């Protein structure tokens, strides 16, 4: 596999570093879910963009295709992936430098809160010490994450294809919100490692159309939304079926 090749097969998922270290497939999936759930919760608390949260989750999944959970704890890498995604996706581009610093500090605080499973900072013993530890942990793992990913941080996210197709088809706000929620949830499983972002966008639109009983067509050409993305229905169905198989 090329160093910058991030397309995997189900056979690859069955022979990850963690599994080669003695873990079971089921245990690895649980650890992946725990890590991504951490990313999602902290990301929501920080009010990050869905694309930033998705990017962090994708970094996380890719990292553990080359590293083992037995060596790197899922929460340590989850926090680090968020840190890198925030900087790469430029969530805070419009802020002044001091505001950026404050937001990064909030990341360390939220990682502390979520990892302690407490919503009340006053109930956490040695709060400042725990925040300092998280800061050191993230800074330490940042270089490891970047080297493992070969500094390949540019992501082709499914949201771009999704928004383009929904706009061309004149989707309602309700339809757009549902499709966006579906595509964002794909990061909770390694489905994002098996299929391209365009295919995942197609699955999200297909499922939202089914749930709302509202087929979408291009407003200008009246062609089905699948042709807007240039996707075959067979591939979309295959990805949807795979999603149900690998989701615990």
- Three-state secondary-structure class, residue 157: coil
pLDDT, mean of residues 151-176: 94
Residue 124 has pLDDT above 70, yes or no: no
What does the buried/exposed string (b/e) look like for 111-129 if buried means 16 or more CB atoms within 10 Å of the residue's CB?
Answer: bbbbbeeeeeeeebeebee
Instruction: Outline where the chain has alpha helix (H).
Output: 10-13, 17-20, 25-45, 50-63, 74-89, 97-116, 127-148, 158-168, 173-185, 191-194, 197-212, 225-229, 233-246
pLDDT, mean of residues 223-240: 91
pLDDT digits (tens, 9 = 90+) for 60-82: 999 999 999 999 999 999 999 99
Strand partners, 217: 224
Average pLDDT, the chain: 89
Q: Are 81 and 142 in contact (CB under 8 A)?
A: no
Residue 245 has pLDDT above 90, yes or no: no
Split at pLDDT 50, 70, 90, the class of 102 is: confident
pLDDT, mean of residues 8-14: 92
Q: Under 8 Å CB-to-CB from 92, ≥6 apart: which residues?
A: 86, 99, 100, 103
Residue 93 has pLDDT above 80, yes or no: no
Q: What is the pLDDT of residue 3?
A: 46
Q: What is the pLDDT of residue 247?
A: 62
Residue 99 has pLDDT above 90, yes or no: no
pLDDT, mean of residues 158-162: 95
Q: What is the pLDDT of residue 4?
A: 53
Split at pLDDT 50, 70, 90, the class of 2 is: very low
- Three-state secondary-structure class, residue 217: strand
Q: Which of 39-43, 84-88, 107-111, 240-244 has the highest mean pLDDT?
A: 39-43
Q: Are 195 and 244 in contact (CB under 8 A)?
A: no
- The share of the chain scoring above pLDDT 70, in percent, equals 89
Split at pLDDT 50, 70, 90, the class of 6 is: confident
Per-residue CA distances from 39 to 1, 206, 238 (Å): 28, 26, 28
pLDDT digits (tens, 9 = 90+) for 180-221: 999 999 999 899 999 999 999 999 999 999 999 999 999 989
């Amino acid at each position: 596999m090329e160093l910058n090749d991030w397309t995997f097969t189900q056979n690859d998922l069955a022979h990850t570093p963690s599994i080669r270290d003695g873990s079971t497939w089921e245990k690895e999936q649980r650890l992946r879910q725990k890590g991504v759930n951490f990313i999602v919760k902290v990301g929501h608390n920080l009010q990050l963009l869905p694309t930033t949260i998705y990017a962090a989750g994708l970094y996380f999944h890719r990292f553990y295709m080359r590293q083992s959970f037995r060596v790197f704890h899922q929460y340590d890498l989850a926090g680090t992936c968020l840190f890198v995604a925030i900087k790469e996706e430029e969530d805070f581009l419009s802020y002044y430098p001091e505001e950026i610093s404050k937001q990064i500090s909030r990341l360390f605080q939220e990682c502390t809160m979520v990892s302690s499973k407490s919503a009340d900072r006053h109930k956490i013993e040695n709060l400042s010490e725990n925040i300092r530890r998280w800061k050191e942990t993230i800074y330490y793992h940042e270089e490891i994450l970047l080297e493992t990913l070969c500094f390949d941080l540019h992501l082709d996210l499914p949201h771009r294809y999704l928004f383009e197709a929904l706009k061309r088809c004149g989707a309602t706000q309700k339809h757009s919100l549902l499709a966006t929620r579906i595509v964002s949830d794909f990061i909770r499983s390694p489905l994002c490692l098996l299929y391209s972002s365009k295919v995942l966008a197609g699955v999200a639109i297909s499922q939202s159309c089914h749930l709302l009983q509202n087929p979408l067509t291009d407003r200008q050409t009246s062609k089905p939304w699948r042709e807007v993305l240039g996707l075959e229905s067979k591939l979309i169905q295959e990805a949807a079926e795979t999603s149900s198989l690998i989701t615990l």
